[in-house]
Structure 1
């Protein structure tokens, strides 16, 4: 998550999975959580020099218990900024989980082909671009960076995932319309009213979703709603689903940094409030991630 201060956010303990809301709708077979993170002990997996938050309570074993409660069968581990481009924790978790998991790595531009091939064999299928970290760059430089990384992904059959503030997404929309590699924008585009994003900006994002190689991820509604509650996110989520239900995926954002007490079951049940169509539930939770991540 984004944190613009030098003081790390304090991660709180993980909620007991037995206290989670149970699914209020029929979760489809092979349902996938397409956005979660895994963390391990600092003596084995050191963090970056200036992490945005303290070590979260995000053990793989805890997540596997949560999956059983929520009837999830697959998941995608997204490399967190906490580890930067040191993907060892994510890769180790993929190897432990086996065929039910896929990964999204963060890499340096000069990462060699042998390393990328080893990542692919472990289950990595995408590269995460942290555009929060590059948000001060001119738009043209960000576009050049995306172009270079898209070429690296194309050779492996991977896609890109953008972790970006909404105003950066807005500025990139004309460029992204011509990107030939599939790409996913995290957290519904992160288009916050507080950052000056408008309904017109969101409408252009939906056009991109319909017509380009763009996918959107229904994840982290609490990062968008801030203090307004989940009802404030519903029009955005419903608009995304209506625009292109075959290019939408869902992610829990577990372990909900920094607030480990959040109810992941409640977040899953939001999907049933955004659409009551069982076929759409299957597309978003099962069919779409299976296609995108090559399960």
Structure 2
């Protein structure tokens, strides 16, 4: 399926992982035992099939704080075509290391509050504001973003904190919205009926929060390859602020290996095609702003 005539020139895939279990050692507690070879070569082939020339490489959970795979891929792509999001321990990181990564093209740190195998996943809710503040203080001099994996219904305690951090914050995968089990057969879902959606909207309206329109298969329970049950969420998020939504594929779709994301990519392109300004924001401009890619 060639999408070269649909996606805007210079499109960005703002969420992918470089994983090669034959070359890079996984953390023992990663919970991922399936062999995966999804390196730069494989990613270039995939991105070419959807006409994305630029990428944001996101540190996957299975590698913990070892960013070797992501950084090697970033070097291979080069800073004109790629950015990366890393993970690090705030107790041991140094300004020298942050500056070195910044010079390579790193533009964010990822905090995972949803995966049990991640160092930050066991952070008690009352400790999350303090942890966010620590990371924000470290990355603020470099203009980086905090990228969060968090369930939408857990966002409420952070609404008074995120706007004060002084850094950009992006929330992965629709903030892991929990659609009703019968969403595909119940007609259009009212986004505001989903616990936490109003909180996400509040954060978007504050101005320093972005949301990734990515990994639709992690939210839906139907077999629709276009994941149309998510359309009401997408439309409302873009209505609220089309400058705060970025597109990502979540390639190579860990735990969902073999899925073909391209029908959804085409559907998303069609969904946004009525307003070319919005379409260009979703597929290009917003990622460039979020990850300082100019």
Q: Please, what TM-score do these two structures have when normalized by structure 2?
A: 0.86
Q: Which residue of 1 aligns with 2:7?
A: 27
| CA apart distance, 1:136 | 4.5
Q: Which residue of 1 aligns with 2:162?
A: 176
Q: Which moved more, 1:45-54 or 1:123-132?
A: 45-54
Q: Which moved more, 1:45-54 or 1:127-136?
A: 127-136
Distance in 2 separating the partners of 1:233 and 1:25: 24
Unaligned runs of 5+ in 2: 182-191
The answer to whether the aligner puts 1:214 opposite 2:209 as a matched pair is yes
Query: What is the number of residues matched between the two proteins?
Result: 273
Query: How much is the aligned-residue C-alpha RMSD, in angstroms?
Result: 2.1
Q: Is the contact between residue 156 and residue 196 of structure 2 (CA under 8 Å) also seen in structure 1? A: yes
Distance in 2 separating the partners of 1:116 and 1:69: 33
Distance in 2 separating the partners of 1:293 and 1:175: 21
Q: Please, what TM-score do these two structures have when normalized by structure 1?
A: 0.86
Distance in 2 separating the partners of 1:240 and 1:200: 15
Relative contact order, higher structure (CA 8 A, sep 6+): 1
| CA apart distance, 1:74 | 0.2
The answer to whether the aligner puts 1:113 opposite 2:92 as a matched pair is no
Q: Which residue of 1 aligns with 2:189?
A: none
Distance in 1 separating the partners of 2:155 and 2:223: 22
Alignment of 1:1-295 (within 5 A): 21-23=1-3, 26-42=6-22, 44-53=23-32, 54-98=34-78, 99-109=80-90, 110-132=92-114, 133=118, 134-193=120-179, 198-199=193-194, 201-227=196-222, 229=224, 230-276=227-273, 277-295=275-293
Distance in 2 separating the partners of 1:120 and 1:28: 27
Distance 1:38 1:115, change over 3 A: same
Deviations 1:238-284 (A, max 9, x none): 11111111111100000011222211321311313432222211111
